[in-house]
Structure 1
Amino acid sequence: MASRGAPSSPPPEAGRDLLSPEQRLDWLRLIRTENVGPRTFRVLINQYGGAAAALEALPTLARRGGRLVPPQVPSRADAEAEMAGLARMGGRLVALGEADYPAALRALDDAPPLIAVRGRAELLRRPKVAMVGARNASAAGRSFAARLARDLGADGWVVVSGLARGIDAAAHEASLETGTVGVFAGGLTRPYPPENLKLIETIAERGVLVSEMPLGWEPRARDFPRRNRLVSGLSLGVVVVEAAERSGSLITARLAGEQGREVFAVPGSPLDPRAGGTNRLLKQGATLVTEAGDVTSVLAPMIGREPDGSGALAAPDALSPPPAPGDDVRGRVLELLSPVPTPVDDLIRLSGASAAEVQIILLELELAGRLDRPGTGRVALR
């Protein structure tokens, strides 16, 4: 088959691991701490210069935010046990900024600071496209997904999907020879769904498995949208093959749009409910796909031009702990907050506080369990 602008793999990045073994343990303990998500992790590292200093500051920050009991922090032994368990199954942790950390994923403002990787990690450096769709896919949908995945793989693309039944499984199986990435909703020792266990083990041998969750984490309903953001975030574009009007695949498509990824959709019969979502995506401006060339012609020019990350992490131990804001500043910021998502820039402007002071106050509230970050640059009281 003739190649349609087959991408070449980017050269490996030079240099050693970003973190020392001690720093990697501290990063793992911090991201596994109660009320610390990827955005909060980034702010903590940039405010305190390293995970060790941030861990030391957590009890004081949470107390100032109104919490009487400090957040639960995994012990060093817990972190060592997770890393040892991952190593026993042939996996390892890759940190944000390290050579095997995917460039496209690094650009997200909620990029996980650590990802657990099992399998051929070098696939994460190659250009990737996601394929998602219905779990109860039709025979025609599965057949087309497989053909599309094979053709994309033959053109040099690694196929990313979420290991679900139906379209996901068809895409993974068809791209085993050329490169596939399976993204877990739970930990790597909690494969889901159980009927895809054989496929998952095959991907571990011939492709690569990725998770941001603790090793033994049992996936819950709210973990699947988190997984979906990784499926789209790893990729330059997302192809939706079959999706009903309320399909989880449409969540992936929405997240892809918010992340600046290209969205593609395969048209279907108006009489088939499984095509309702994909046909709506086409009405909303998604690129129509009937062959691999429809995808590669859009994505090939983007290779090597992945956006930079939304903010670099501070060098470990590079900063002094920031001073605590005064009660008057804290009061002005609290007065402006509400359950309605508010841009952080508005809090800075209207409160008259510095950006650093506002960030510290938001950290205090988040670690106390009183604040949500519903989107880029916005915060809301719980």
Structure 2
Amino acid sequence: MSNTIHFDIPELFSMKRYPEKLSYRGSLDLLHRPKISIVGTRRPNPYTRSITLELSKKLSLSGMVIVSGAALGVDAIAHQGAGAENTIAVLPSGIDVHYPAANAELIEAIEKRGLTISPFERGFDAREWSFVVRNEIVVALGDVLIVTEADIDSGSMRSVEYALAMKKPIYVLPHRLRESAATRQLLRDGKAEAIDDIDIFVALVSQKGRNAMDDSPFFAFCRNAPTYEEVLAKFPKDIFEAELNGIVEVRNGRVYLE
């Protein structure tokens, strides 16, 4: 049994276009907890598999919800490490289509104990362009994007483009030469930080997540760089006071916390 989300998800206002319709199965309570997005290759090497599993498990135990795309490889490992009750799977297909079929059992567990989301109609089969839509939602939902392994010109790098546009922090695993060329390129270009110590990283991001949970609704809404018109419609008094006090800045029609 699937349902339609009848309220705005503030994180998704950072997308180029807010989804016209969102269907879900599972617990919407997960949307109100701190979230981390994890993506990567469908063919991870043993090192990536091991670290992705450990990382997602420890982030979950610290109170974070893991968001990914239910794909083979890194996505599935991230969901498994978090545990079905602590993960959100964004589907590239209709909410009733368990894609890929190889992960059907995993997706069924998530929709029963966690949360699955789809912006597509029931019965819709995944297509090349729908993976792009899925990827943008995965990135938008998380406070941080982690790419554990990726090749140049991969779908994971499209996710990185979204994260950069949304001004999301990006983290990658340190890899050996000739492995994960895309994430090593991100480090060379200064667009990502390396996770050199899992426990220190988990402690850092989980504390930031708890701090974000203490935000007022106004600050939480503004953290996703909404348009000025969106903020004005929801928080007319707060936005004027925040502007006067220099707490927010309006750039190119969007509101940013200072």
Correspondence for 1:210: 117
Is 1:115 paired with 2:22? yes
Q: 2:58, 2:202 within 8 Å by CA — same for their partners in 1? A: no
Correspondence for 1:307: 224
**Aligned pairs for 1:197-276 within 5 A:** 197-272=104-179, 275-276=180-181
Distance in structure 2 (CA, Å) of the matches to 1:215 and 1:296: 39
How many corresponding residue pairs?
A: 222
CA offsets 1:215-252 (integer angstroms, 9 cap, x no match): 11111101111110000001111000011112211111
Is 1:280 paired with 2:191? no
Is 1:92 paired with 2:10? no
Distance in structure 2 (CA, Å) of the matches to 1:167 and 1:147: 12
Where does the alignment leave 5 or more consecutive residues of structure 1 unmatched? 1-88, 316-344, 346-375, 377-382
Correspondence for 1:105: 12
Distance in structure 2 (CA, Å) of the matches to 1:120 and 1:267: 34
Q: CA deviation at 1:152?
A: 0.5
Letter in 2 for 1:233: A
Where does the alignment leave 5 or more consecutive residues of structure 2 unmatched? 234-251
CA offsets 1:325-350 (integer angstroms, 9 cap, x no match): xxxxxxxxxxxxxxxxxxxx9xxxxx
Letter in 2 for 1:222: W
Identity of aligned residues (%): 29
Pick which of 114-123 and 297-306 moved more: 297-306
Correspondence for 2:47: 140
Q: CA deviation at 1:135?
A: 0.3
Q: 2:21, 2:120 within 8 Å by CA — same for their partners in 1? A: no
Q: 1:127, 1:158 within 8 Å by CA — same for their partners in 2? A: yes
Distance in structure 1 (CA, Å) of the matches to 2:212 and 2:15: 16
Distance in structure 1 (CA, Å) of the matches to 2:62 and 2:20: 31
Q: 2:15, 2:136 within 8 Å by CA — same for their partners in 1? A: no
1:190–1:122 CA distance, 2 compared to 1 (3 A): same
Pick which of 305-314 and 172-181 moved more: 305-314
Q: 2:34, 2:212 within 8 Å by CA — same for their partners in 1? A: no
1:210–1:261 CA distance, 2 compared to 1 (3 A): same
Distance in structure 1 (CA, Å) of the matches to 2:96 and 2:136: 21
Q: CA deviation at 1:309?
A: 3.0
- Which structure has the larger Rg? 1
Q: Give the TM-score normalised by the residue count of structure 2.
A: 0.79
Distance in structure 2 (CA, Å) of the matches to 1:293 and 1:104: 26
Secondary structure at the aligned position of 2:93 is classed as coil
Distance in structure 1 (CA, Å) of the matches to 2:52 and 2:140: 20
CA offsets 1:234-286 (integer angstroms, 9 cap, x no match): 111100001111221111111111012111111111132xx111111111220
Letter in 2 for 1:194: A
Q: CA deviation at 1:190?
A: 1.9
